[in-house]
């Protein structure tokens, strides 16, 4: 039987260096166990629900260098693995973020993975099953991922369509967690911490967000994100009148339709008084 290599000891991290994250369930423990067992992780959930913050928090907590890639429809495998570049008249190989994460035993986070080009799956597949290898055709290397290396990917299911969807063979390589907005009291605490506005003043903003979330799919495409509530609270903490902050940070970002905007403003007046 092959000896299982020991995982690197967790470096002691001062709390101040860890981005704040309030859990909605057992996701921190799950992340840690997935990392220990070398399983890739997929996070899905609406915009502004804490996916990116969660990954930053866990990377810091586990002492892993974090390599974040915002995927877009032009993102190719070479953008992740690396390419030969001309430097001072010479061609040199430059590692991409995925290759760096493998070499350094870090955490590679691919945000909005569904946006990436299809050839990205080709490099992800051997890395996200039990082989854990990254073949670099261009340099002839075959990198074996060290035990501490991990891949996390995320996407927003609301933006999916038939053309942009993960293939089952990709999807079934990941342990998956669904994200949603925090329960009321915890969301109030998060927004207060993030913005510096006291909880009493934050509560009506969270209540408004929760009310507007019930309109998702009718008048608005996506519910109000926690991010927008943090924006509104931050503007109020900076001295902007509440009504203006709510208009600029919560209502305007939700819609371009004048009628819908007027309807949302009506709801805001009713909730905020």
Contact 102, 126 (CB under 8 A): no
Answer for which of 35, 49, 235, 251 binds ligand ATP (CB under 6 A) is 49
For residue 95, CA distances in Å to 60, 209, 218, 271 come to 23, 43, 46, 52
Q: Decide whether 149 or 179 has the Cβ nearer to ligand ATP.
A: 179
In angstroms, rounded to a whole number, what is the distance separating the alpha carbons of residues 232 and 202? 9
Joined tokens for residue 243 = 């009504």
Q: Decide whether 134 or 235 has the Cβ nearer to ligand ATP.
A: 235
Interaction mask 176-195, ligand ATP, x per CB under 6 A: ------x-------x---x-
51 contacts ligand ATP (rule: CB under 6 A): yes
Shortest distance in whole angstroms from residue 232 CB to ligand ATP: 12
Answer for which of 34, 40, 44, 53 binds ligand ATP (CB under 6 A) is 53
Interaction mask 17-46, ligand ATP, x per CB under 6 A: ---xxx----------------------x-
Answer for which of 156, 192, 206, 249 binds ligand ATP (CB under 6 A) is 156
H helical segments located in 129-183: 168-171
Q: Which does 53 bind (CB under 5 to 8 A by kind): ligand ATP, Mg ion, none?
A: ligand ATP
Contact 65, 94 (CB under 8 A): no
In angstroms, rounded to a whole number, what is the distance separating the alpha carbons of residues 226 and 213? 11
Contact 96, 123 (CB under 8 A): no
In angstroms, rounded to a whole number, what is the distance separating the alpha carbons of residues 201 and 230? 12
Q: Decide whether 40 or 45 has the Cβ nearer to Mg ion.
A: 45
Residues that bind ligand ATP (CB under 6 A): 20-22, 45, 47-53, 156, 182, 190, 194, 226-227, 230
């Amino acid at each position: 039987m092959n000896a299982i290599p020991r995982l690197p000891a967790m470096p002691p991290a001062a709390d101040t260096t860890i981005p704040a994250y309030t859990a909605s369930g057992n996701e921190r423990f799950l992340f840690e166990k997935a990392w220990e067992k070398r399983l890739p992780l997929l996070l899905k959930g609406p915009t502004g629900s804490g996916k990116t913050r969660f990954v930053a928090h866990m990377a810091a907590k586990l002492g892993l260098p974090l390599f974040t890639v915002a995927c877009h429809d032009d993102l190719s495998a070479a953008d992740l693995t690396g390419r030969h570049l001309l430097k001072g008249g010479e061609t040199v190989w430059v590692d991409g973020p995925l290759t760096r994460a493998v070499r350094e035993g870090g955490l590679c986070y691919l945000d909005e993975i569904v946006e990436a080009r299809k050839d990205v799956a080709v490099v992800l597949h051997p890395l996200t099953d039990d082989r854990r290898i990254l073949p670099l055709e261009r340099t002839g290397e075959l990198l074996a991922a060290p035990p501490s290396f991990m891949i996390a990917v995320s996407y927003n299911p609301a933006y999916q369509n038939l053309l942009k969807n993960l293939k089952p063979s990709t999807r079934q390589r990941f342990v998956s967690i669904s994200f949603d907005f925090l329960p009321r009291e915890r969301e109030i605490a998060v927004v207060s911490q993030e913005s510096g506005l006291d909880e009493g003043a934050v509560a009506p903003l969270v209540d408004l967000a929760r009310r507007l979330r019930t309109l998702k799919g009718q008048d608005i495409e996506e519910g109000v994100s926690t991010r927008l509530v943090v924006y509104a609270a931050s503007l109020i903490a900076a001295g902007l009148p509440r009504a203006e902050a709510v208009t600029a940070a919560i209502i305007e970002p939700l819609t371009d339709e004048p009628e819908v905007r007027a309807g949302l403003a009506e709801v805001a007046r009713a909730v905020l008084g």
